[in-house]
Amino acid sequence: MRTSDFDYELPEELIAQDPLEDRSASRLMHLDRQSGSVSHDVFRNLPHYLRKGDVLVLNDTRVMPARLLGTKEETGAKVEILLLKRITEHEWETLVKPGRKCRVGTFVNFGDPDEDRIYPLTAEIVDTLEDGKRRVHFHYDGIFEEILAELGEMPLPPYIHHKLKDASRYNTVYADREGSAAAPTAGLHFTPELLEEIREMGVEIVRITLDVGLGTFRPVKADEIEDHHMHEESYDIPQRSAEAINRAKDEGRRVICVGTTSCRTLESAADPSGHVRPGRSATSIFIYPGYQFRVMDALITNFHLPESTLVMLVSAFAGREQILAAYRKAVEERYRFFSFGDAMLIE
């Protein structure tokens, strides 16, 4: 299957640059997989589509202020370091720009120096990794997370050009476990009040964690999608969450994933019967048409980039032609696309 099979035309002005003031005011497209019918609503009406006994699966990862802007110690040239994955207490897997000018042995300083010319944070490039990544050793005194909170910025996707006024808007209201370089954006539409309403109607809400990496935004460069290799991401499924999901499967109740990250986590941890194994692990699962879903019965998601692995995942769930038709309708109806855009419920 060709990557170009998942392309579609999107006017640039439909790429949402800012979050709505009211998270739940986003529009909601409802796609019925069986009939192919599409209807339009607002996200705060999501409870109308849920049933007592459903299990709603949230990814509670929190996005780090993982973008650091500094200067090379030797020349004063500007350098950007993006934190991807912690390796040890002081070492991280990162992306460095400009990478070509930051070879092993380069030092990059962040923040303002004290009277002794000592910076609060210094990065030393110690190794070159695959895909152009760098292994970086950070030198600092104190608690790294506190220094990062002061010096770091939210790593917004490259298609968002506006500066984010409130950093909390690139995290879900239930974000709890810091470790992601990108947000699980389907969850950005929920408010505490909406979650409480859903809980009160008898929907069981459970949490899992998948630390979202920047591979979310990486384009598929292979002509044939089968030749694409997914990035690896760490996940954790608590025992209680696994038990709730497995009970629902045994009793014929629906498991509804909030976002492709929740979907990929459950499908990675599922056995052939559709039961989920609890615990920590990592996944590089690539879901595209032909995949047989074992756990997920419905999906809440945003509108995804053309030719991306995420549009391939939703095509696997609802059918490529139906998804592309729904996306054309979304363009026609002037939906807002991507991270700060509108939502879709597929069931």
Q: If you classify domain 67-151 with CATH, what class do you get?
A: mainly beta
Low-confidence ranges of the chain (pLDDT < 50): none
For CATH 3.40.1780.10, list the domain ranges present in the chain.
Answer: 3-63+165-346
User: Which pLDDT score is estimated for 217?
Assistant: 60
CB 2 within 8 A of CB 328: no
For CATH 2.40.10.240, list the domain ranges present in the chain.
Answer: 67-151
Spatial distance between the Cα atoms of 46 and 48, rounded to a whole number of angstroms: 5
User: Which pLDDT score is estimated for 101?
Assistant: 86
Which residues are CB-neighbours of 104 under 8 A, at least 6 positions away?
125, 126, 127, 128
What's the DSSP call for residue 34?
T
Concatenated DSSP letters for 85-109? Answer: EE-SSSEEEEEEETGGG--TT-EEE
Q: For the CA atoms of 214, 111, 136, 283, what is the dihedral angle to 10 degrees?
A: -30
| Per-residue pLDDT tens over the stretch 26-56 | 999 999 999 999 999 999 999 999 999 999 9
In CATH terms, the fold of domain 3-63+165-346 is: QueA-like (3.40.1780)
Looking at this protein, which amino acid is placed at residue 62? R
